[in-house]
Structures are given as structure tokens and as C-alpha cells.
Structure 1
Amino acid sequence: MRLHFQKIRPGDVEQELTQKDQFDTDKVPLIATLVREALQNVMDAKVPDSDQELRVRIAFHHSTPADRDFWQEIFKDFEGHLKASNVPIGEYKLDRPNFLLIEDFGTTGLNGAISKRDDHEFSDFWRRVGRSHKSSGKGGSWGLGKLVFPVASALRCFFGLTVRSEDSSREPQLMGQTILNTHVLDDVRYVPHGFFCDLGEDGIQVPIGDAATVERFRCATGLTRTNQPGLSIAIPFPRKEITISALIPFIIEHYFFPILTGKLVIDVGDEILSAETLEFLSQKYPAPALKDGHMIAFIKALGIAKAENVPIKVPVGWDGSSSLEAIFDDTLIQELRRRYLRGDLLHFRLPIICNSIADGKYPGSFDVYLQPAPAGATPVPLFIRNAITVPNEAGYFTNPQVFAAVVASDFVVSSFLRDAENPAHTSWNGRAEKLMSRWRSPSTTLSKIRHSAKKLDQLVGNSENIVDTDALIDIINIPKYAAAGTKKVSNPISAPPPKPPQSTPRPYKIIQNIGGFTIKGAGDSAGVELPMRINVRMAYAIGRGDAFKRYDRNDFSLNKMNDLQIKAEGATTQSISDNVFLIEGDVPDFSVTVSGFDPNRDIIVQSKRVRT
């Protein structure tokens, strides 16, 4: 196994891999990205229709003096390329690497041809960046996500050992990769990508299959895989901020749902994160969403309801009806509202049609779970595709008093949502390129899924005129004891209450419209000095946290052409930033209307008078 770089020919276009920078930012640190990207692809690569436990091992391994000759041979040409790429070696010794290991079991491994380029996982992982051919809903796509592995290495390299489920021989295949910069070494210009591999007849990079070399590598790195299908990643020279104690809180934060529902077990150092241990470990390694225990209880109840599989079946046509009351039986609605009022968890299954451009209409379904939260709880809405949480979708359910989960496990719907996901797997985009190329009217379909929990909560949460005879049993079923002493007689003549002070009229009001809002002056009755100046800022509502701090200009922007429209009468406006503007009202009954927002999302508007 040697390091191979391809030479740049005179007519080739040089291209640096700038996407590496997005894996370690002020907002999302490297450790969070490493956890999310590595485990997301593990979840997607689960062996289909298998009851085998999905398990991940994360560990560190220190090389031994006995392995120095082995590593000297593997890395003997690496130092020159590192220096030519201006990658500082510093204190790291190429013959004494330490390793971060990430191994998955119960997965398919990297299937596909190993000695030629094809449209399957092996080529997607090793031979493509930013694009995959994996059919939606299946296996890890390995688009940009795999770039996190070299980014996690101080010397920008990693190795992969895979056993492939389609290979009956179960022979492990080993290869390594480094991503540097375009560089010149000994007057030869090289591409950024280098491979630790053998070369095929046509010069293509092929993995090491020699059993003795693979076994020596496995022992020298501390990998445990022998012939079990799956993928083992070995990252030499891991960056110093990556530690077991730093990894565990992010694993809990991003993967508590599949762990608590028994879909995933993760061995991290000496800790085992499972459905049985997560509650304890979430206290040892604090995770804000799980701090009060209520969220854990909800997810465990959800897991039980999912296993029992007795959902309330929402009638066909729910997604085309303006009111769910029109399609549900009245008796059932009243019963659901009584149960909801008591705090029961309700499990719904909703049918939906996903219209494929290639194959026509596919019937699918997804589940919604709702449960009123007890006092003191801080619910975080969950939007889940195949046990992978998509955190930025939480803003589509804004009831802070209800636990809600939208779960897509059905092949059709999970395929559709997989195509809608952004590269970081944190949100769905109704206009994503892959989604638009595969599905008809995808924005409409996605909107129905996003707002399903909100519509159902509005249906069952409307408890007006519902009488639950047990609702106050813990309060009114208390023995009443006679009070000692004489009975106090109230004064039959009491002074009339004082008149409340006359309120001062508000100088303006905010009126909600479909897809926007209007700020309107109160007229002459307000008696304010003109011009009246008002600072206004806007954001979409989110399930948890400060909506303004988490504002994203990709949601909307005053500075984008044809994004938002402002119509002013009797006033002028001035844009201050993407989501802040200033109104200067010249007449008492001025009016400023802002439109162009997503009509399916709630808008938060804050305003403040600016006095000169």
C-alpha cells in the first residue's frame, strides 16, 4: 500500500476543495459535524429488512513501538506532499500515529465495483465529492459528508476498511485518502486528492485486499472488524479538540431519538449509549433537550406506541381539507379531545401521495405523535426521517405546551424527504435540486408533511365544551373538614370599586395577514408627535430558543430582489439589515404592509418606538 497522487496535465483546470471549511465553523464546531455526518450515514446504511442491532463503536487507539516500521512504510512519501501543501506537521510523528476509530455494524458496507467506477457506494465514497448515485431512501449517500474525516485529522488523511454485504467472500477491502491542496513537488504539479492504495491496470485506485496487509493494519490501528459487513474508519492524527468527553454530549444531542427507541447503540470509549443508559448519561454529559426527563419519557412512550402499531388512521383527503373536523367522525373527535385533555399520547398515521416524475404517484404514509406537556417541561418538536432528527424543522410546530413528533419511516415518504435534505441533514428544502428533479409539486407535498402536527394539534387541542368527569378528580376528591371557630360575616355594605384609570391609546397596531403583516397608525386619537419612527424586526417562529438569534437570511431577506414586498401609505421605510427596517410615519393613520413570507410559517414581529 503506497500513496498515489495524480499529476495535473497542462490542460487540466485546477480546483481546490473549499467545502472543507463548512465542517468547522463558529456556529457548528467540528465535533458536532463529525458526530452528525458520520452517524447519519450509518443510520442510512442499515441492512434493509434486518432485525440485527445497529451498533457503532467510537474509540481512540495509540500505536505501539512495534508498529513503527509498518507506519514508516505507509507514510514514507507523505511528508513531502504535506510540506508542499503547507500543512504543518509540527509535533506529529508519522511513524507513531494515534487514531480515532468509528466502526459501524449491522450495515451494508461499501457495495459496488472496486476496480472500476460505477453508481454504487464504493465509488460514491472514494471517487466522488458532492454527488452520489444512491437511490433515495436507501443507504448512506456519502456526498459531501465524508469530507469531515480528513478535516478531523491534523494531517488531513483517513483510512477505510469495509466488508461488503453483497460480497459472499466477506473479504475486507482497505484504502486510505488524503485531501491536501494543489501542490508542486519536485517540479511536478499534483491534484489535492491522494490515495493510499494499489493501482489497477488503467491507473484507477483500487483497495488493498491482501489478507496479511489488512490484518497487520487492523491490529496496528485497533480496529475490531473481521468479516462483519459494514465500514470502519480510522483517522490518524486526530485533532486535539476531539475527545471522548467532547463527543458524547453531541451524540446525545443529535441522536437521542434512535438511541431511546432502540434503533441504535453506540460504544464511546468506556461508555455505552443505549435506551437503558441514556437517561443516566444525559445527566453525566448534560444535553439541554433532555435535562428535565420529560423529553425522555415522551420518546419512550412514543417507542412503545410505535411498537404496538395501533395508530389513529387519518382519513384520505386530510391534506386537501381546510378543516380536519370535516373529515373526522364527530364521536371520534370528542373522544380524542377527552384523551388529549387528560394528557394521553395520541398516535396518528397520515396517508399521503408522493408524485414521482419517473414512475407516477406513490401512496405513502407517515406518523404524528402528540402529547400535552406537564408543567415545567420544555418540549422540543421532533421531525424525523428514518430515525434521523432534522432539527431545523422544529419551527413548523410552535405550541410550547405540547410534545410533538413527525416520524417518516415509510419508504416512499422517507425517500421523498431524503431528497429534500440539505447537505448537513439539518433541514428540508422544498426547492432542493434533487427533489425538484425527481418529484412533482414537491413544495406542496413537503408543506403538508411539515404542517401536519400543527393541524392535528389544533383539532384535538380544541377542548371547548368538552367535559371530562375525571379531569379534576385529584383536586375535588379531597375530604372537607369543618373549620373551628366562629363564622365570619361579611359586611353587607361595601364601597364601590374605584374607576380604573383611562388607558392611553396605542399609537399604532400590528395586524397579521396571510403571508405577512400590516403596521397601522391609530389616527388622531393617539395624539403622538409626527413623524413617528418605529424600528421593526422580523423572524420566523421556532420551537425553542431565540428566533431572532437563529434568524437565517435564507428564510427571507429585505435585501434580496423579489423576496419581501413593502407597501407604505403615509410613511417611508428604510432597510437596516436583512430582517430589520425603520418606519417613519408622516400622518397619524399611516399604513405599512409587508408581504412575501411563507404563509405556512408563523412570523414574530417586534417593534419599538424610536424617539428623537
Structure 2
Amino acid sequence: MQLHFQEIRPGDVEQELTQKDQFDTDKVPLTATLVREALQNVMDARAPDFDQPLRVRIAFHDSTADPEFWQELFTGFRHHLEASGVSIEGIRLDAPRFLLIEDFGTTGLRGATEERDEREFSDFWRRVGKSHKSSGKGGSWGLGKLVFPVSSALRCFFGLTIRSDDGSRSPKLMGQTILSTHVLDDKRYVPHGFFCDLGQDGIQVPVFDDGTVERFRRATGLARTDQPGLSIAIPFPREEITGEALIPFVIEHYFFPILTGELIIQIGDETISAGTLEQLAERYPAPVLKDGYMIAFIKALDASRTADAPVNVPDGWDSSAGLEAVLDAALVQELRARYLRGELLHFRLPIACNSIAEGRLTGSFDVFLQPAPAGASPVPLFIRNSITVPNEASYFTNPQVFAAVVASDKVVSSFLRDAENPAHTSWNGRAEKLMARWRTPGSTLPKIRHSARKLDQLVGNSENIIDPDALISLLNIPRPATAKKRKVPNPISPPSPTPPEPTPRPYRIIPNVGGFTVKGAGESAISEMPMSINVRMAYAIARGDAFKRYDRNDFSLAGATDIRIQADGATSQPAADNVLLIEADAPDFSVTVSGFDPNRDVIVQSNRVRA
């Protein structure tokens, strides 16, 4: 095993990996990103025949027993580091300290090792920002794996894998460094280098030699022998990465699979499991677990999943008729009575996801609701394959109810995985991967997002509150001179001597040539996020109600017309031929609708929808 860099050929395009900066920010520190990215792929890579809790070992090891091994391995590496501007002052390359992250019960990195294919080994070692995961399983290893070299002072890491489909249980060892484009001895090199052997055509291949693998395993302190999974060894971890620093983020991001018995994590001498998490949460407070109520809710939820006796909601619940149209009236009354008593309700909802490759696929997901006791501070949970997607919590806003939307079904998990942002913190109805694999995803995702809110409204006997805004005429039609003014009745009571300050509008509508823009108010709208807005539009007419006399031959948002929609900080989808539903996440969001006939007047009506 040696270090290999490829030279840049005269016609090659140079490209730096600028995404490295996103893994350590003021808002999300490196320790949090490392925990979330490493464990997310573990949760997605469970071996199909493994029915025990997944286990992850995180440890630190000082390698002092075999300095000759590291001197041989790092020969020449020092010069590439210096040429890339990486300081190694004070670092002894012959005595590295290692951060170890090992998972057990997973598939390992399957697939071809001596050529590219569309499986995990190639995704992990030979691709950045692209994966081939489907069906919600398999560990994607897209951009997330960049967190490993970012965590190293040497910008490198090693991986040893044993694959679940390999009967020989032969370990495969490889390493990678990601520096910058650099010049050494008058030769220009790409950022990526590999600690590996070379196969045909110079492709980087893992080391199979038992002697080298065993020497590496002993020198790094890896625990893996013949168990399937992946072991990551990061030399010279950055000083802020310690066991004490990692534990709080493990609890914060992975409390759900830990409490439901799907994951056990060992960090140093500390075991984080369903039996120990509640006690550890007192020592390492996580906002979502600041009282014991959330833990009790998750345990009750898990017991309900085990019993598997949900209220099966019939097809059609997501139609315009709503939930009450498909559920028996007597059942609804019974559910309301149980809800009033504070019981946990478990629903299973079917949903169709339209795959471009496979056609219409029917899946399901679960919703759990339980009124919170006095003093509790519920945080809504949106779960995909036991992974919490925290930013989706904004789509359930009842502060008196525990709510969880849990997607473990193969179809729905795959759909939602394609909708996730790179940080796995939110779903995007217009994500590139989602749009490439699914038809009309922008209409499917809101049904999942808003399901808990709609069920809570049903069993809590609450209703949507619609705050209609004023009718806005983008290009006003002059009022006829003979038009009579409507009489305004006298107020019942005199106005307050000190009228309240007007509430700032969280958004406004700006006319453009051939269209309009719905624009967020910026800082004054932060408290209103996320925000749902229904926007109706029609061509103005001289008499009568323009909306009642709307003709889809004029234009149609859902049809093949010239109407164009561009959104930033929001998602949008046609709710009808002349109705646009906007889901705004950013306070300075912008949705521009253009392509109307510039010779005709357009009027727009917006309705704010509140949960």
C-alpha cells in the first residue's frame, strides 16, 4: 500500500473541493457534522438479514507500537502536504493518534473494487456528491464522507471494510487524502490522493494482503476482525474532536433510533443505549430531551409500532374532500374521545409516489399524536428510516401535542431520501434528485408534511384558519365614473383612543411586466416562518367576478402554457389551474410568476393559511 496522486494532464479542468467549508460553520460545528454524517450512513446501511441493534464504536487510539509502518506509509506524503499549504508543524508522522468509527451489522462497502459500478464501494471511494442509493437503503456516501478528511489535520482517512455478501469475509483496506491542486517537482497534481494498490489501467484498488491489513489493524487499534461493516480511521483528528464533545450530538441527533432499540453507540467507556440514554441526557442536555416527556412519548410510540394495530386511514384521505370524508363518523368520535383523555393515537396512511422508472408505487407512513401533559415542551418529530429530519418540525405547530411522522416503508423512505438536503435536515420538493426520479413530487411531499397537522385538527376538532388578504390589482381597472359607492355602516363602538400598532405584513406582492412576485418581508417575517400562502390569479374583466369567470384557455398553471414559476427560499406547486400553493421557508423568500399576456390586466388574491 502506497500513496498515489494523479498528474493533471494539459487538457484537464482543475477543480477544487469548495464543499469542505460547509462541514464546519459557526452555526453547525464540525463535531455535530461528523456525528450526523457518519451515523446517518450507518442507519441507511443495515444488512438485510441483521435484526439486532446496529452497533457503532467510536474510540481514540495512540499508535506508538509500530513507527516503521507509518514511516513507510507516509513516505512522500509530507511533501504533498507542504505543497498544498497544509502545516504539519509539531506533528510526528511516525506516531499518529487516531479517531476510530466502526459500525457493525451493516452491509459494508459492496460492489466491484477493480472497476467503477453503481454500488457502495465506488460511491464511497470514487465519487463526490453523487450516489446511487435507491429504495431508501444502502448508505449513500455522497458529499457526507468529506467530513472524514476535514476532521484530520492531515486531510486524510482510511477505511477497512468487510462486505456482508462476501462469504470469504476478506477485509479490504484503502485510504484517501483530499488536499488542493498542487505543484511538486514541477508536476501538477489533482487534490485526491489514495493509499492503495494499483490495478489495471492504473485504477486505485484496495489492499487485500493479510499481513498489511493485520499490521494496519493492530497499529490503529481497530476492533473489527471478520464482522461485516466499515471501519474508519482518521489520523491526527482535530483538537476539538473529543469523546466528551461528540456525546451531546449523538444524543441530540440520534435519540430516536437509540430509544427504539435500533442503535447502540460506544464512545470510549460510555455506552449510549435505550437503557442509558435517559440518564446520559441529564449529563449532556439536548434541547429536544430537556424533560422526560419526549422520552416517554417515544417509548410509547415504539410500543405502539410493536403492537402494530394502527388506525388504517383509507385511500382518498389526501383528496380535496379531506380526512373526514373517508373516516367513519363513529370512529372519528371515538378517536376524539380518546384524544381528549390524553391517549396516544397511531395512524397509518397510504400514499402513492409516482416513480419515473417504475410507475405508480403505493406505500405508507405512520403518524403518532398524543396530547402533552402540563409542563411539557413537545418538539415534532419527522423521521425517515430512524433518522430525524429536524427542520421539518416547523410543519406541525400545535405546542400542546406530541407528534411524530415516521416513514419506514420502502417506497416512502426512498421518496423522502431523494428529497433530503445534503445535511439531512430538511426535505425539498424541488430537489434535483427528487425531480429526476419522481413525477409531481411537489404535490406528494406536502401531503406527508401536513398529515400530522390535519389529523390533529380532525381529532382535536380544530379547523384551518384562513386569513384573507386584500384583493390586489396588479394593473388596476379604472372604476366607472357612474359607479355607486357602497355605504359603510357606522361602527358599533367608538374606535380605541390609542389604536394598536399595525402588524407588519410578512410578505407583499410586487407587479412585474407579464406577471408578479410574491416577496417575503425579510427580518420582520422570521417569526412567521414557515408560511403557507394560497395565491389565486385571473385576467381582469370589466364586469363581474374575474375569478368565477376564469377560463383555463387563458392560462393554466398545471397545463402546457407559457406560465413560468421561479422560487427562491420557498417551494411552489399548482393547487388548481389558477391557484398556486407557496410553502415559504426563508423570510426573504421570492416566488416570481411570469408569462402572462402583457396586453391584459392580471389580478391576484392571496390567502395566508395558518395551522
Any idea what SS the aligned residue of 1:315 has?
coil
After superposition, residues 108-257 of structure 1 pair within 5 angstroms as 108-257=107-256
The answer on 1:537 being equivalent to 2:567 is: no
The residue number in structure 1 matching 2:496 is: 503
CA distance in 2, matches of 1:53, 1:539: 40
Q: How far apart, in 2, do the equivalents of 1:206 and 1:535 lie?
A: 51
Structure 1 pair 21–595 and aligned structure 2 pair: CA distance change class (3 A): farther
Partner of residue 460, structure 2: 461
How far apart are 1:255 and its partner, in Å? 0.3
Q: Deviations over 1:36-57 (max 9, x none)?
A: 0000000000112531321100
Match of 1:12 in 2: 12
| Structure 1 residue 388, shift from structure 2 partner | 0.3
In 2: Cα distance, 1:558 partner to 1:219 partner:
54
Contact persistence 2:135–2:411 (CA under 8 A): no
State the 1:328 CA deviation.
1.4
Paired with 1:447 and 1:161, the residues of 2 have a C-alpha distance of: 41
Residues 354, 601 of structure 1: alpha-carbon distance in 2 compared, 3 angstrom cutoff: farther
1:559–1:313 distance in 2 versus 1, CA, 3 Å: closer
Give how far 1:539 is off: 3.1
Give the whole-Å Cα distance in 1 for the aligned partners of 2:462 and 2:40.
40
Question: Percent same amino acid at aligned positions?
Answer: 72
Aligned to 2:402: 403
Amino acid at match of 2:592: N
Q: 1:205 to 1:297 in 2, by over 3 A?
A: same
Identify unmatched segments of 5+ residues in structure 1: 465-499, 519-533, 544-551, 565-592, 603-612
* Distance verdict in 2 for CA 1:304–1:5, change over 3 Å: same
* Residues 81 and 179, structure 2, Cα contact 8 Å, conserved in 1: yes
Structure 2 CA distance for aligned equivalents of residues 73 and 169 of structure 1: 29
Q: Structure 1, residues 509-551: CA drift from partner, whole Å, max 9, x if none? A: 5699xx9689xxxxxxxxxxxxxxx9981136569xxxxxxxx
- 1:398-440 alpha-carbon deviations (Å, 9 max, x no partner): 0011000000000000010011011110000000111111111
Kindly indicate whether the alpha-carbon contact (under 8 Å) linking 1:516 and 1:595 is maintained by their aligned counterparts in 2. no
Q: Sort the Cα spacing of 1:332 and 1:556 in 2 relative to 1 into closer, same or farther, 3 A.
A: same
Which residue does the alignment assign to 1:47? 47
Report deviation, 1:295.
0.5
1:428 and 1:537 mapped to 2: Cα distance? 25
- Give the TM-score of the pair, scaled to structure 1: 0.80
Q: Equivalences for 1:265-414 in 2 at 5 Å?
A: 265-414=264-413
How many pairs are equivalent?
A: 512
Correspondence for 2:24 = 24
Which residue number in structure 1 is paired with residue 558 of structure 2?
A: none
Cα distance in 2 for residues equivalent to 1:463 and 1:136: 36
Q: Is the 2:522–2:587 Cα contact (8 Å) retained in structure 1?
A: no
Query: What is the CA–CA distance in structure 1 between the aligned matches of 2:159 and 2:197, rounded to whole Å?
Result: 14
Q: Distance in 1 between matches of 2:264 and 2:586?
A: 39
Match of residue 35 from structure 1: 35
Task: Please tell me the residue identity of whatever aligns with 1:58.
Answer: I
**Residues 1:349 and 1:230: Cα distance change in structure 2 (over 3 Å):** same
Give the whole-Å Cα distance in 1 for the aligned partners of 2:11 and 2:606. Answer: 47
Question: Are the aligned partners of 1:159 and 1:233 in contact in 2 as well (CA < 8 Å)?
Answer: yes
In the alignment, which residue of structure 2 is the partner of 1:589?
none
Q: Alpha-carbon deviation of 1:353?
A: 0.6
Q: Are the structure 2 counterparts of residues 253 and 189 from structure 1 closer, same or farther at C-alpha, using a change threshold of 3 Å?
A: same
Distance 2:128 2:246 in 1: 26
Alpha-carbon separation, structure 1, partners of 2:528 and 2:418: 25
Amino acid at match of 1:40: Q
Residues in 1 aligned to 2:326 and 2:589: alpha-carbon distance in whole angstroms: 43
TM-score when normalising by structure 2: 0.80
- 1:506 Cα deviation after fit: 3.0
Classify 1:450/1:74 alpha carbon distance in 2 versus 1 (closer, same or farther; 3 Å). same
**For the Cα contact (< 8 Å) 2:529–2:587, is it kept in 1?**
no
Structure 1 residue 155, shift from structure 2 partner: 1.0
Q: Which runs of 4+ in 1 moved over 4 A?
A: 507-512, 515-518, 540-543, 556-561, 593-597, 599-602
CA offset at residue 561 of structure 1?
A: 6.8
1:316 is displaced (CA, Å) by 1.0
Q: Check conservation: 1:363, 1:412, Cα contact below 8 A.
A: yes
CA RMSD in angstroms comes to 2.5
Query: 1:424-480, CA deviations, whole angstroms, 9 ceiling, x for partnerless residues?
Result: 10000000111111111101100000000000000011289xxxxxxxxxxxxxxxx
Once the two structures are superposed, the pairs formed by residues 574-585 of structure 1 within 5 Å of their partners are none
Contact 1:162 1:173 in 2 (8 A): yes
